[in-house]
Structure 1
Amino acid sequence: MGDRQHQDGIVAGRLSAEDYARNFADLHPPLDAHEARVEADRCYFCYDAPCMHACPTSIDIPMFIRQIATGDPLGSAKTIFDQNILGGMCARVCPTETLCEEACVREEAEGKPVQIGRLQRYATDAAMAAGRQFYERAAPTGRRVAVVGAGPAGLACAHRLAMHGHAVTIYEAREKPGGLNEYGIAAYKTPGGFAQAEVDYVTAIGGITIENGKALGRELSLTGLAHDFDAVFLAMGLSGVNALKAQGEEAGGVENAVDYIAHLRQASDLSALPIGRRVVVIGGGMTAIDIAVQARLLGAEEVTICYRRGKEHMNASLWEQDLAASKGVVIRHWLQPRRIVAEGGRVKAIELEYTALSEGRLTGTGETLTLKADQVFKAIGQTFEPAALNGSGETVALEGGRIRVDAEGRTSMPKVWAGGDCVAGGDDLTVSAVAQGRDAAESIHRALMG
């Protein structure tokens, strides 16, 4: 197996079965009851707590931690779910190090914040394991709402609408619900089929139907949905992938990181996944970190992230950058791709150009560097594809290439709201998508009930 690990080209089965199991185990093992109580006791239970203000869903963090400290994890879970019904996933994937934990007074005082994310997971896991539902569906209102996209924004919107008694149909383009939670998160953050378990938990309230394999512009039209339903919530995320704009990027071995991660997340046998020996990742965000770390965990010998700006400009948090470094990933800055060097139609190397900031603008210096590579991953951001609006582009106004919404999530088209990554001005965070879905549901409810 060791010889296979050092073999050039993109091959499967670089590691032993034991290595795959160990590499893709839970990144952060869950806290047990004693550990959770000890960690909860570190909280100062601040009045007007800064951690709450840093949370896009405004969870009452001191309250849920106090409930853990007093031995009430189910009450703690309800406090979390009141604001964020996908609190279990957010506990796993939120960049808490740049949100609630960065704002923690303990972080300010001693550089070691209360582990809010792990405490949130402890409470929500307890409720989900017990099958404890905290909300009942209100009496049916007779109103029907279509939700396009079964990702975090769509699920949060659907749950809140169901609470109010509306009938919700979620249309999902893929064969499984969950959106990025199912297809786009690093496998070591959500092992054990958690994304699907959370979908089941959220939809257990009733009144929510999910139809998979149905997409706008394909099986559905926005005008048709607006005609057939009392309201529509658009939460289809981003489906386009930016191009490298490098010569020869159509060569074999140049792949989209998001597509590979989706394939990895659905794989039943990780040893069947082919990965290169020398892998280069282009990008500086969470997806770049996720694909780079997972390439190493699949047995790649050398993995290098190349980012066109400096360390301080990367969208990936410092914690995620350190995680990548701890797994053997090399991060190189001030480099942009110029040319894929191919041989026999397959990538053999990538030529990059050094960059610099000149009067605030990023420019190439003309100096180049060539890195050997048998696999290159593009992780340079995704784009919204307005064609999915199925000819309604004149009705649904866009801004910066995404859907323009007001403070309540209303689009320019009557009866249509939107939220999540497909709307303008977002930060592409799961927790923000949940907040937008929840708040749009309240706006829809007010509009429907007049």
Structure 2
Amino acid sequence: MDGDRIRGGRLDQCGYAVAFSDAHPALTPTQARVEAERCYYCYDAPCIEACPTGIDIPGFIARIADGNLRGSAETILRSNIFGGSCARVCPTEILCEQACVRTAQENKPVVIGALQRHATDWQMRTGSQPFRRAPTTGRRVAVVGAGPAGLACAHRLAMHGHEVVVFEAKAKGGGLNEYGIAAYKLPDEFAQRELEFILGVGGIEVRHGQKLGEQVTLAALRAEYDAVFLGVGQGAVRALSLPAAGASAAGDAASLAGVLDAVDFIRALRQAEDKATVPVGDRVVVIGGGNTAVDAAMQAKRLGAAEVTIAYRRGPEHMSATGFEQDWARTSNIRIRYWSVPIALHGADGTVTGIEFETAGGARELEPADMVLKAVGQLFDPEPFGEILAISGGRIAVDSEGRTSLPMVYAGGDCTAGNDLTVVAVAEGRDAAEAIHRALTNAPATLPADATTAAPRPVRGMEKMANG
């Protein structure tokens, strides 16, 4: 890569600290109390129905208003053990906060996400584990994937007294929370701190470097364990095949220096001990219209890129990135060009110099760039399953309880059809755990009354959300 146009160290250390600090500072105790008192505490609360994990939102907010942060956190975590990260990354503006009664009345919802963070942060600061395991059942369950779906499943199974072994291909657990979410959304090693909190319930062993289809097979897991849950996410990247144009650029455009998959760019940044070592272009173009595209563009800008452009093939209403994310990008001086279909990468001396688009009117435009990040989607990789598992629509086929085509094999999260949101993955992992527990023991699908110090609440079921 060109050492002048693609390089690290564009900011001083103070600049990096500011750029990658917490995107949304936490509420103060006074702010949290005042905001909690805005809640109507609706009896038939629409915000609960809008939450994929069915958190008792009025209940946890009422406890904040009463000064009972312990009770508030337990109310949240009983339904969503990833309540801390979901409070930071969940698109509340199109889920619970959009459904808030105050949104319809005054277009100013209760800030449910910030209040959820206030309570769960308090719980994590105490260092205490609010849950207790049920007596050991003697049953063993294998979970493949230490992301939100797998860990939510593992935690709920452990709560019910089952022994759980989690098989994770990477060196760290956390899944997208660790490797795929923008660094400014989950700073200060939050994903790992939350992982430690979740494992604190006991009964869960995590084995790293265990990739399905290589170090471990589904057949072997089925033979050794009473049940298997697959939370393998989407490990493949959608290809974007573009011809190369320009001097010394003939051939494979993908081999041009400066052309990267956005997920690799985000992963490298998330895992870098020193963000000054992460190279970024002076002029960056991101191809795509989802949250990954926005995260990549925002982080390129925060690394010191002078010009960052998001190019999307259709209009703003078609982007899977929320309106909030699009607005956030624009206010961060990131340009979004709509109705721009990429048709060729331009390069010179083996390095990308621009990308050519066809606009809505059929005209061709060349956008200068010394770094192009491809964020055109991720795919489920069915190869480790061969023909033994039913696949539908390119993902693992499951029924309403997360059961696959194989007996006692369940799946959830991004490897199954539905909205690819952390909160949805958590709900599906949790609900699959309840289904597994019922299948193993014929027990009711509720946690034991003494599981926490809070009153027991029934587990709210959920239907898989349709693709947007």
* TM interval, short-chain normalised: over 0.9
Between the aligned partners of 2:18 and 2:437, the Cα distance in structure 1 is 47
After TM superposition, give the deviation of residue 134 of structure 1 in Å. Answer: 2.0
Match of 1:449 in 2: 441
Between the aligned partners of 1:197 and 1:226, the Cα distance in structure 2 is 31
After TM superposition, give the deviation of residue 266 of structure 1 in Å. Answer: 0.8
Match of 1:318 in 2: 323
SS of 1:141's equivalent in the other structure is coil
Which letter maps to 2:396?
A: I
After TM superposition, give the deviation of residue 43 of structure 1 in Å. Answer: 0.7
Q: Deviations over 1:159-195 (max 9, x none)?
A: 0000111000000010000000001111001111110
Aligned partner (choices 426, 429, 434) of residue 437 of structure 1: 429
Match of 2:296 in 1: 291
SS of 1:281's equivalent in the other structure is strand
SS of 1:220's equivalent in the other structure is coil
Aligned partner (choices 19, 23, 48) of residue 19 of structure 2: 23
Match of 1:427 in 2: 419
Which letter maps to 2:186?
A: T
Between the aligned partners of 1:366 and 1:42, the Cα distance in structure 2 is 51
SS of 2:150's equivalent in the other structure is helix
Summarize the alignment of residues 35-434 of structure 1 with structure 2, pairs less than 5 Å apart.
35-248=31-244, 249-250=253-254, 251-355=256-360, 366-389=362-385, 391=386, 393=387, 395-424=388-417, 426-434=418-426
After TM superposition, give the deviation of residue 8 of structure 1 in Å. Answer: 5.0
Q: Deviations over 1:127-166 (max 9, x none)?
A: 1110232211111111110000000000100000001110
Would the aligned equivalents of 1:254 and 1:376 in 2 still touch at CA under 8 Å? yes
Between the aligned partners of 1:16 and 1:131, the Cα distance in structure 2 is 34
Between the aligned partners of 2:339 and 2:384, the Cα distance in structure 1 is 35
Which letter maps to 1:98?
A: I
Unaligned runs of 5+ in 2: 245-252, 443-468
After TM superposition, give the deviation of residue 442 of structure 1 in Å. Answer: 0.4
Between the aligned partners of 1:344 and 1:9, the Cα distance in structure 2 is 14
Between the aligned partners of 1:194 and 1:15, the Cα distance in structure 2 is 24
Between the aligned partners of 1:191 and 1:429, the Cα distance in structure 2 is 19
SS of 1:348's equivalent in the other structure is strand
Between the aligned partners of 1:15 and 1:193, the Cα distance in structure 2 is 21
After TM superposition, give the deviation of residue 9 of structure 1 in Å. Answer: 1.7
Between the aligned partners of 1:203 and 1:247, the Cα distance in structure 2 is 48
Q: Percent same amino acid at aligned positions?
A: 58
Between the aligned partners of 2:369 and 2:384, the Cα distance in structure 1 is 35
Which letter maps to 1:344?
A: D
After TM superposition, give the deviation of residue 388 of structure 1 in Å. Answer: 2.3
SS of 1:90's equivalent in the other structure is helix
SS of 2:98's equivalent in the other structure is helix
Which letter maps to 1:43?
A: C
Would the aligned equivalents of 1:244 and 1:337 in 2 still touch at CA under 8 Å? no
SS of 1:227's equivalent in the other structure is helix
Between the aligned partners of 1:88 and 1:110, the Cα distance in structure 2 is 28
Would the aligned equivalents of 1:8 and 1:374 in 2 still touch at CA under 8 Å? no
Q: Deviations over 1:277-312 (max 9, x none)?
A: 000000000000000000000000000000011011
After TM superposition, give the deviation of residue 447 of structure 1 in Å. Answer: 0.7
SS of 1:133's equivalent in the other structure is coil
Would the aligned equivalents of 1:280 and 1:376 in 2 still touch at CA under 8 Å? yes
Q: Deviations over 1:316-365 (max 9, x none)?
A: 1111111111111000100111100011111001001124xxxxxxxxx5
Would the aligned equivalents of 1:214 and 1:220 in 2 still touch at CA under 8 Å? yes
Would the aligned equivalents of 1:336 and 1:353 in 2 still touch at CA under 8 Å? yes
SS of 1:187's equivalent in the other structure is coil
Between the aligned partners of 1:376 and 1:331, the Cα distance in structure 2 is 14
Would the aligned equivalents of 1:168 and 1:207 in 2 still touch at CA under 8 Å? yes
After TM superposition, give the deviation of residue 245 of structure 1 in Å. Answer: 2.4
After TM superposition, give the deviation of residue 415 of structure 1 in Å. Answer: 1.4
Q: Deviations over 1:180-216 (max 9, x none)?
A: 0001111001111110000100010100000011110
Match of 1:361 in 2: none
Between the aligned partners of 1:208 and 1:24, the Cα distance in structure 2 is 32
SS of 1:245's equivalent in the other structure is coil
- Tell me the TM-score normalised to structure 1 length: 0.95
After TM superposition, give the deviation of residue 30 of structure 1 in Å. Answer: 0.7
Between the aligned partners of 2:55 and 2:311, the Cα distance in structure 1 is 36
Which letter maps to 1:401?
A: G
Between the aligned partners of 2:282 and 2:103, the Cα distance in structure 1 is 40
Q: Deviations over 1:35-62 (max 9, x none)?
A: 1001101111112111111000000000
Runs of 4+ in 1 over 6 A off after TM superposition: none
SS of 1:126's equivalent in the other structure is helix
Between the aligned partners of 2:222 and 2:186, the Cα distance in structure 1 is 35
Which letter maps to 2:299?
A: Q
Q: Deviations over 1:191-250 (max 9, x none)?
A: 111100001000101000000111101101111111111000000100111112211331
Which letter maps to 1:443?
A: A
Between the aligned partners of 1:238 and 1:194, the Cα distance in structure 2 is 22
